[in-house]
Every structure is written in structure tokens, then in C-alpha cells.
Amino acid sequence: MLAQSNPWLYIRKGVERWIEGGFSALAPKQKPKLRAKLEQPPEGMGDFALPLFEIASKLKISPERIAETLLTENERPPGISKMERAGGYLNFWVDSEYLTDMTLNGIINLRRDYGFSFERKKGRIILEHTSANPNGPLHVGRARNPIIGDTIARLLRANGYDVTTEYYVNDSGMQVATLVWGHLNLDIDWSESSHKKADHRYVRYYQETSRLPDSEEGIRKLLKDYEDGDPEAIREFKIHEEVLEGIIQSLEEINIKHDSFVHESKFLRSGDVAAVVEKLRPFCKSEDGSLYLEIDAENVYLTRRDGTTLYIIRDVAYHLDKFKRCDIAINILGEDHKLESKQLGKILDLLGKKKPLVIFYSFISLHEGKMSTRRGNIVYLDDLVDESISRAREEVKKRRPDLDEESVERIARAIGPSAVRYNIIKVQPQKQIEFRWEEALSFEGDSAPFAQYAHARCSSILRKLGEVEGFEPGSLINDSEIRVIKTLATFPSLVEEICDFERPRVHLLTSFLYDLARGFNQFYRDCPVIKAEEPLRSSRAALVMCVKQVTENCANLLGLEMPGEM
RNA sequence: GGGCGUGUAGCCUAGUCUGGAUAGGGCACAGGCCUCCUAAGCCUGGGAUCGCGGGUUCAAAUCCCGUCACGCCCGCCA
């Protein structure tokens, strides 16, 4: 099974067993048993390398002797065609016919499941992401949140986890109260802005109210009424739903959907928040009617002087509820939430409850500084995606004058959002990004269109070939063929390795996709498929089919579309 | 001032967790490749004291200590 579902790991494990067997023979009494730590050698030095230095010093035997003993006293491990000592390393070359046979058969049999785990893991996961305040449209500064969150959710599912993605709707705080106050009290001249989406229109209530210093008292009064359950206030707060609807649409544009929406107000109405306050009261200090906890020598306020609640206490109630519904909670949060998140963890500790795992990302800033809804120095996600689509449209029109309007549109809509996702996910989350249009809209090199283009070439070859069946593993001997096959073989290991709860390395999925596409483009240059003689023709056709399949599988993890023609 | 994070060619970035053989890529730049399955492609070239200084090690971009620069946070906002 492993041979087909994870060919590279299968061969690697064989090599490790072979080495460890050799070690046992060399030093039977050694405890604990010596492990084989394989690494990837530089280009041209084979496929696996065993550094001998550490073992040599442990056994007090020279690296040369160890290598010599291993090489002379044992049969070759399965799937290895050549072994050679080079300096302090023992290098292994994978037999390409063996690898080709396993890998192509694996992909052909497993198809869209290749790379993914069949083994269902225990434990329900709730992955919370985005959870942007519904007071305006999503902006690029925080666009990493949904993209990272959605990609991790896809990765976890591919590894057999049961994942629910959740949006925590902050409908009960100052931000939404500010929006509501503006809606009730401002008379805005709409003649200039006629945006069709509610989030883009209503954000002006929030922005303009934020500029009025006198509005604060009214906003607080409104919030107090709302928390006290005043029906009119509750009705007015519903305006946030239209904004949320706009945010949901923006997310759909980039292929993201949440499984669940949980509204903060639910915990206010159910009495959960009040119950948590009561539980924590014995640990709290009080001041003018407000409540606060001392955590790490800092005062963390739970309620205001007027009795209304603060974010963190509602967040505690939310997490208590969340852990009733799951075993593992993962939150995707901006780096500005680090302190709050740590404090939340301490409070959950205090209550003897589980804590969420948190993945933080740094902001995407503008050259002029941080984006801010309040100040309005901002690039909205909708605008970035629209711009990306229209640039894609221009490119397709230019390159493919033969296509009809409808096809052009379909392809542009596959390229635009994918390019945005790709360019954001390819950088690891903790790195800060300065937003530049040229970079965000890059369609060359390490980008989504590069992979989409290679995929389109695959599709085109396969369309022209018609029905082809079977392959001859021994006929694929060209360097570009072997290179692509090796890349295909490592996909399942990659999917498994990067799935780390503490530090999921989803950015490496783009590296893989890029490697595969680049390898394929070299193959495309070196190895004609349609004009090749049998059995080379069908073998190459099988390889092209496999590249297409694995490209799609990886694209699925990244939430990218593959239009199949460009 | 304290906490967390980041620093790799002109610009962007992988590798850092788990130390190993000439530090991978991309953009930009210079040159070459469409009578040949889509040139959003391919090939060649120049360009890196891995922020800086110590230390540990047979071996340091990677681990430890110090230091500097930048970002985020330190609110009865979220």
C-alpha cells in the first residue's frame, strides 16, 4: 500500500532499515540503537545521503570503515541502484525504473486521492479563521487570515482530520456599535459612492463616526442598551449582518467558505458570559464597578465600569463553548492578538480548561504604513481580486484572440483569484509583507499562472493524444522525465510533513507546485509526446497525465483553480 | 522600558524547528531559443562578508550569549 500511496517514503524507509541493520551488526551492544538520519544530498550526488561523522565518533570507527563495512556485507536495499561513499557520506541512488513503476501506478490508481491520507485521525478540529469585525469590507492587510486558515483546513483534511472552519462574528463590541451609531445618527451624502456591496457602503458610517470625538458617549450608551437586551438596540445592531454578507461574498470570490458562523451575541444572551464572570469573580479585583484580573503583573479588564463586557471575557465564554464541540481548537490570528491570546490561555488555565493552538501572521502593510479601516488608508481585497481578474482578462485576450468572450471570462476568473491566493500564501505567515501591486499581481515565475500554464499544456497534450493506455517504466530514462517523476513521488511525504499543528508550513505547497511545473516545462522542451514512438509515447502520456493529476491535487490544497486552457 | 516576531544579492523569497558536502528560487538586468505538443515558457550569464560581534562543534544561515535595525503589542478597543 505504502509503495503506491507514498513511493518516496517507502524507498526511504527501506534504506533506513538497511542502514540500521548494518549498524546493529557493527555494534551489537550499542544502546540505544543507532538511528539512520538521512538527508538530501546536493544535485548529482544521489537521492539520499547518510552523514557518517556522528556515527563514526559514537562507534570510534572511521567513516571510511563504516561505509566499507555497510557496502560489502549487505545486499542493496530495495529500489536502490547505486551506493557510493563520498567523503564522510554514504550516498544512495534510487533506481528510476523501480520508482517510475511505483509512482505512476500510485497516481493512476489513486487519482485525486494521491498524496492524501486514508487513515481517519481521531479528534474533531475547529479551525477559526478570518473572524473580521463586520464593520467594513475585508482589506488586504488581513487577507492572509482567510487564505492561511482555509489552506491549513484543506491540509488537515488531506491528512485525515475532521475539520470544521468557523467564523466568530464579533457583533457585540465597540466596532459594530460605532457602525450602528453612525447608521442612526449620520446623514451621509451617497451621491459619490454607489458601491453595490453593503460592506463597502456601510463602512462609511464607521469611518465617519470614528472621526467624531463627541460620538463616544452615544456609542457607549448604545452598547449598554444592547447588552441589557433593549429590543430596539438589538434590532439596530442587525445592520452588521449585511456587512457580514459582503465579507462572505468576498471570501467566496477567493474560493473560501466557512462551515460555521458563531455570533458573539449568542453568549451574551445565553447567560454564558455572565456565568463566566461569576466563575472568575473570586480571582478578580474590582475598581469603580469594573472587574479585572492580574495576569503577569498586568491588569486585564473583564468588564467596564458600566457593567458591559470586554472582548476577552466574551472570548473565554466562546472558547468554553468551542471545546464542547471539538477536541482541538486552532485559531488564525494577526500578530496584534498575541497578548490577548496569551491572556485568554491563562484564564482558561485558571478555569482548568483546554487552550486553543494559535497561528499568528504578520500584517500586510502599505509603504505608508499599516492599513486601517478607521483612517481609510487601505486596499480592499475585493479591489485586489477585481484588478487581478481584469489583468488576467487582458492577458488572455492578448494571447488567445481565437477564444470567445465566455471562455476568456472563465479563464480570467480562474487566474485572477488564484494569483492572489498564491502570492499571499507563498510567504511564511510570520514574515511581514509590504503590499505592492506589481508583486500581488505577479503572473510570471513563481506564481499561480505559471502552474496553471503547465497544467494547461498537460491538458492540451492529453486532448490531442486521445485514448492511450499503459506505460513502460523502463522507457522513461531522460533526465527531465526522471526529475519530474521524483517530484511526483515526494508529494505525499510533503503533505504529511508540513502538517504540523504548531507550525503548519503551507507555504511549501507553492514551492512544490512551482517545482513540479518547472520540471514539467523542462520535460516539455526535451521530450515530445505526440510524435514519440511507442512504447515511449504512451509512457510519456502516462507521465503527463500524472503531472496533471498531482498539479490538481496540490492546487486543491491551495484552493487554486486550474482552467485547463490559457 | 518590557514581551513577541523578522533580518539571506538592487528588490522579494526557500532553507533555520531537526547543525552537515558548491546557501536553492523568483523579479529586475545582459544575451540566446517560436517552419518544433500553447514563448504566462525554455537556456546562458553576472550579482550573497546569510544584520553585526563573540561562543559551542570535526562541521553554524541553522544552536547559545550579546548587540543593532525594523514590525506588532503593552487600551475599561478588538
Same domain (yes/no): A157, A79: no
Give CA torsion, residues A9, A10, A14, A20, to 10 deg: 40
Nearest to A473 by CA among A5, A44, A1, A7: A7
CB atoms within 10 A of CB A242: 14
- CATH number, domain containing residue A157: 3.40.50.620
Same domain (yes/no): A341, A386: no
Same domain (yes/no): A263, A410: no
Count helices and strands (H / E) in chain A: 22, 13
Q: Is A41 domain-assigned?
A: yes
> In the numeric block, which cell numbers belong to residue A396?
488572455
How many Å apart are A1 CA and B5 C1'? Answer: 42
Distance CA A564, CA A566 (A): 7
Place of cell 526522471: A482
pLDDT on residue A190: 79
pLDDT on residue A549: 98
284-323 on A, CB < 7 Å from strand B: 287-288, 290, 298-299, 301, 304-306, 310-312
Q: Is the CB of A520 under 7 A from strand B?
A: no
- CATH number, domain containing residue A30: 3.30.1360.70
Q: Is A122 domain-assigned?
A: no
How many Å apart are A444 CA and B32 C1'? Answer: 20
How many Å apart are A56 CA and B64 C1'? Answer: 25
Same domain (yes/no): A225, A263: yes
SS3 A562: coil
Distance CA A452, CA A416 (A): 11
CB atoms within 10 A of CB A36: 19
Nearest protein residue to the C1' atom of B3, measured from CA: A339
Nearest protein residue to the C1' atom of B37, measured from CA: A461
- CATH number, domain containing residue A422: 1.10.730.10
What is the total count of domains within chain A? 3
Q: Is A216 domain-assigned?
A: yes
Same domain (yes/no): A352, A447: no
Looking at strand B, which nucleotides approach a protein CB closer than 7 A?
3-7, 12-15, 17-18, 20-22, 24-28, 36-43, 58-59, 71-78
Same domain (yes/no): A354, A391: no
140-179 on A, CB < 7 Å from strand B: 170, 173-175
Q: Is A110 domain-assigned?
A: no
Place of cell 463566566: A276
Q: Is the CB of A60 under 7 A from strand B?
A: no
CB atoms within 10 A of CB A498: 19
Q: Which residues pair with A331 in a beta bridge?
A: A128, A358
Same domain (yes/no): A174, A64: no
Same domain (yes/no): A254, A134: yes
- Give the range of the structural domain holding residue A217, as residue numbers without chain letter: 129-280+308-365
396-425 on A, CB < 7 Å from strand B: 396, 399-400, 411, 415
Nearest protein residue to the C1' atom of B41, measured from CA: A521
Sheet holding A328-334, edge to edge: A260-263, A162-169, A124-128, A328-334, A357-361
Distance CA A344, CA A355 (A): 8
Same domain (yes/no): A41, A65: yes
Same domain (yes/no): A232, A172: yes
Q: Is A105 domain-assigned?
A: no
pLDDT on residue A31: 66
Nearest to A294 by CA among A278, A315, A307, A280: A280
Distance CA A187, CA A38 (A): 69
Q: Is A315 domain-assigned?
A: yes
Distance CA A180, CA A360 (A): 30
Which of A69, A94, A119 finishes a domain?
A94
Q: Is the CB of A224 under 7 A from strand B?
A: no
Q: Is the CB of A377 under 7 A from strand B?
A: no
**Distant-in-sequence, close-in-space partners of A309: CB < 8 Å, separation ≥ 6:** A227, A268, A273, A277, A302, A303
Per-residue pLDDT of chain A (566 residues; tens, 9 = 90+): 789 999 999 999 999 999 999 988 888 877 667 888 899 999 889 999 999 998 888 888 888 999 999 998 778 999 999 999 998 999 999 999 999 999 999 999 999 999 999 888 888 999 999 999 999 999 999 999 999 999 999 999 999 999 999 999 999 999 999 999 999 999 888 777 678 899 999 999 999 999 898 899 999 999 999 999 999 999 999 999 999 999 999 999 999 999 999 999 999 999 999 999 999 999 999 988 999 999 988 999 999 999 999 999 999 999 999 999 999 999 999 999 999 999 999 999 999 999 999 999 999 999 888 888 777 689 999 999 999 999 999 999 999 999 999 999 999 999 999 999 999 999 999 999 999 999 999 999 999 999 999 999 999 999 999 888 899 999 999 999 999 999 999 999 999 999 999 999 999 999 999 999 999 999 999 999 999 999 999 999 999 999 999 999 999 999 999 999 99
91-130 on A, CB < 7 Å from strand B: 91
SS3 A177: helix
Which of A39, A69, A94 finishes a domain?
A94
pLDDT on residue A537: 96
DSSP state of A504: -
pLDDT on residue A500: 94
Q: Is the CB of A42 under 7 A from strand B?
A: yes
SS3 A98: helix
Which nucleotide is closest to A447, CA to C1'? B26
Let me know the angle formed at the C-alpha of A270 by A268 and A275, rounded to the nearest 5 degrees: 75
Distance CA A503, CA A327 (A): 18
> In the numeric block, which cell numbers belong to residue A522?
523542462
Q: How far is CA A185 from CA A29, A106, A180, A207, A218, in A?
A: 83, 64, 9, 13, 10
Q: Is A532 domain-assigned?
A: yes
Q: Is A303 domain-assigned?
A: no
Nearest to A470 by CA among A204, A105, A154: A105
What length does chain A have? 566
Which of A45, A78, A94 finishes a domain?
A94
Same domain (yes/no): A83, A135: no
Q: How far is CA A120 from CA A124, A160, A161, A270, in A?
A: 11, 5, 6, 35
> In the numeric block, which cell numbers belong to residue A24?
546493529
Q: Are strands A89-94 and A80-86 parallel, antiparallel or unpaired?
A: antiparallel
pLDDT on residue A409: 98
Same domain (yes/no): A234, A325: yes
**Distant-in-sequence, close-in-space partners of A161: CB < 8 Å, separation ≥ 6:** A121, A123, A125
Place of cell 459594530: A176
Distance CA A172, CA A222 (A): 11
DSSP secondary structure string for all residues of A129-143 = -----TTS--BGGGT
